[in-house]
Amino acid sequence: MIPISTIQSTAEVLMDKAAIEIPQDYLDGLQAAADVEDGDLSSFVLQAMLENYEAAKEDRRAMCGDTGCPRWYVKMGNDAAVEGGMVALEAALRRATANATNGVPLRPNRVHPLWRTDHDNNVGIGAPEIEYGFEPIGPGEEKADWIDLITVHKGGLFGTDYRMLFPSDGIEGIKRFYLDSLVAFGKRGLACQPAIIGIGLGGSKDTCMVLGKRAACLRVVGSKNSDPKIAALEEEFKELGNSIGMGAMGFVGKSMVVDCNIEVGYCHTGGMQMSVHAFCLSSRRAVARIHGDGQVEYRTDPDWFTDYQRRETVEWEGHAVLEAAE
């Protein structure tokens, strides 16, 4: 049984880490982009960003003044249990979001869409979002009694789009919408590029958006889709994005895409939904695993897209199912 106080205190640390510490995988990716960037203004921008990450860590202040929309992904091992149950967990994550907004401090961004009511704490109706995933017991694990808490602070206004494509649009149509999205939001740097570009393909409209957002926010720079043909597309799309001739802030340059991640879901036989998401120059994510015995381990790789999350068919041929069958 994981104590609720551990959930809340861990969540508060995660809010702080996400806001202040740029994840190493993104930093390495941006450094690599800065090394090859030869546009005068683009180079200046990338150097300024690298200095900014240092300043944030030295001062323990947020790297970006726009907190975006803090949200939570909760992944639970199949045997995990929380003191007070899931309602208590949700309350703890909401409290942690409010406390960290005041504590770090972060910008209170969340308001009512019509009345613009602002609680000054990033909490409100449906905010922060809390999404869930579950994981069977892994090889060598005795019990999957852990919980992964993941917070992502992603910008909220630009860089994301959705389109219903059809099988007849083909790869040419996918490329077209990809380029359209990058150019449209890349101009003047509205997407805060170079970014981790997440692409969702298939699913339904809502799940297509979810897949693309998770591809951008829950996979690290350098990761590859487990389907080798999709992994090849990711590489091709990264290069395509960086060949536009546009760099940071929409200045002439070649650093638009730090990495491109694609996730797919089965869709209607007549359709080919597509979404594009940009996780920005302040790619803020932080992860902690809380074990059943209350121990906490921090990391920056959400490791969300396991084989189980991408399972293809009815039965899961994993350890958990075999045990249950015995």
Partner 1 sequence: MSGPRKVRLSTTPTPEALADLRLGDIVYLDGLIYTAREGVYMRALEERANIPMDLPGESAANFHCSPAARINEDGSYDLGAVTATASFRFSKWIGEWMAKSGAKLIIGKGGMSAADYKQHFVPNGAIYLTTVGYGTGALLGRGVKGVRDVHWHKELGLAQAMWVLEAENMGPFIVESDLAGNSLFERENDKISANLDKVYEGTRPATLKRFGETDDRSDELIG
Residue ranges that bind partner 1, judged by CB under 8 A: 40-41, 43-45, 48-49, 51-53, 55-56, 59, 61-67, 102, 104-109, 111, 116, 118, 120, 157-158, 163-166, 168-170, 172-173, 175-177, 179, 183, 187-190, 192, 240, 243-246, 248-252, 280-282
| Choice between 55 and 324, CB closer to partner 1 | 55
Q: CA 281 → CA 20, 115, 118, 193, distances in Å?
A: 13, 31, 26, 6
Provide the minimum distance between the beta carbon of 136 and partner 1 in the complex, in angstroms, as a whole number.
39
DSSP conformation letters of 259-315: EEEEEEE---TT-EEEEEEEE-TT-EEEEEEE-TTS-EEEES------TTTT--SSS
Give the largest CA-CA distance in the chain: 65
Q: Is 92 helix (H, G, I), strand (E, B) or coil?
A: helix
Provide the minimum distance between the beta carbon of 170 and partner 1 in the complex, in angstroms, as a whole number.
8
Provide the minimum distance between the beta carbon of 113 and partner 1 in the complex, in angstroms, as a whole number.
14
CA atoms within 13 A on the CB side of 306: 16
Provide the minimum distance between the beta carbon of 245 and partner 1 in the complex, in angstroms, as a whole number.
4
Provide the minimum distance between the beta carbon of 109 and partner 1 in the complex, in angstroms, as a whole number.
6
| Choice between 7 and 280, CB closer to partner 1 | 280
Provide the minimum distance between the beta carbon of 235 and partner 1 in the complex, in angstroms, as a whole number.
16
> For residue 227, what are its two tokens?
């389907």
Cα separation, 280 vs 153, in Å, equals 10
Element (H, E) at 9: helix 4-20
| Choice between 163 and 285, CB closer to partner 1 | 163
Cα separation, 63 vs 65, in Å, equals 7
Provide the minimum distance between the beta carbon of 100 and partner 1 in the complex, in angstroms, as a whole number.
11
With beta carbons less than 8 A apart as the criterion, state whether 49 and 91 touch. no
Helix axes 228-242, 170-186, angle to 10 degrees: 40
Provide the minimum distance between the beta carbon of 173 and partner 1 in the complex, in angstroms, as a whole number.
6
| Choice between 117 and 295, CB closer to partner 1 | 117
CA atoms within 13 A on the CB side of 116: 0
| Choice between 63 and 89, CB closer to partner 1 | 63
| Choice between 74 and 246, CB closer to partner 1 | 246
Q: CA 4 → CA 40, 91, 150, distances in Å?
A: 51, 10, 16
| Choice between 249 and 290, CB closer to partner 1 | 249
| Choice between 57 and 143, CB closer to partner 1 | 57
